[in-house]
Amino acid sequence: MKLSIIYVFIGLFLVVGNWESQQQHWQEEDPVPEDSIRLRIFSHDDSLLQQEIKREVRDEVAVYSAEHMDEVPTKEEARDVFDAHLETIEKKAEDVVHAYDASMPVDVSLEKNVEFPTRVYGPLVYPAGNYEALVIDIGDGEGENWWCVLFPPLCLSDLGIGEEEEEKEEKEENVEEEPEFSFFLAEVWDDWFGA
C-alpha cells in the first residue's frame, strides 16, 4: 500500500514537472517574427452581416496574399509586393463588400505604426503594440476587427483559431463563473481509503 502511494506521488511529480516545462516553452516561443507585416480588418459595425462581410474579405485577402508571399524572403521585399498589389487587394475587398452593399466604401493602406491589442492563440499570448500592417477599413471601420500575419504568410493557418482580447467590457457584460476546484490527491485518497 505504501508503495502505491509512493508511485502516485512520483507520477504526480512527473506530470506537474512536465506541465511546467511546457508552459515555459510556450511562453518563450514566438511564432510571429519581429520582421512581420500584419493584416488588420475593421468592419463597418458589429452587426452579424458586417462581421460576415469582414470574414469574407479576410479570406479573400489572405488567400491572395499567400499566393504572392510564398517566395518572398524579406520584409522589405514583402512591403514592395504589397505596394505593387495594393490596388488589386483593394479591388478584391471592394468586390466582396459591394456584393452586399454597393455604396459602402473600402479603404486599403499599408501603414508602419498600427496599434494592435493583445491576442491569445491557445497557450501563446501576443502582446499589444504598434506594428506594420496592411489595414482594411470597411465602411466606417468602427466594428470589431480581425488580424493575422500576412508576412511571413501565417494567415491561412490562423483562420478561425484566435480571438482578440480587446475592450470587450464595453461591448459585453462580464459574467464571472465560480471556479470549480478539484484536488487529485484528495480524490485518490478518498477512493483508496474512503471519505
Residue from 95, 91, 133, 87 nearest 113 by CA: 133
Instruction: Give the pLDDT of residue 112.
Output: 93
Using a cut of 0.85, tell me whether the model's pTM lies above it.
no
The model's pLDDT over 67-108, given as tens digits with 9 standing for 90+, comes to 888 788 899 999 999 999 999 999 999 999 999 987 899 999
Residue ranges per domain, the chain? 37-158
What is the number of H-type helices and E-type strands within the chain?
Answer: 5, 7
The model's pLDDT over 151-179, given as tens digits with 9 standing for 90+, comes to 877 776 555 433 443 444 334 444 455 55
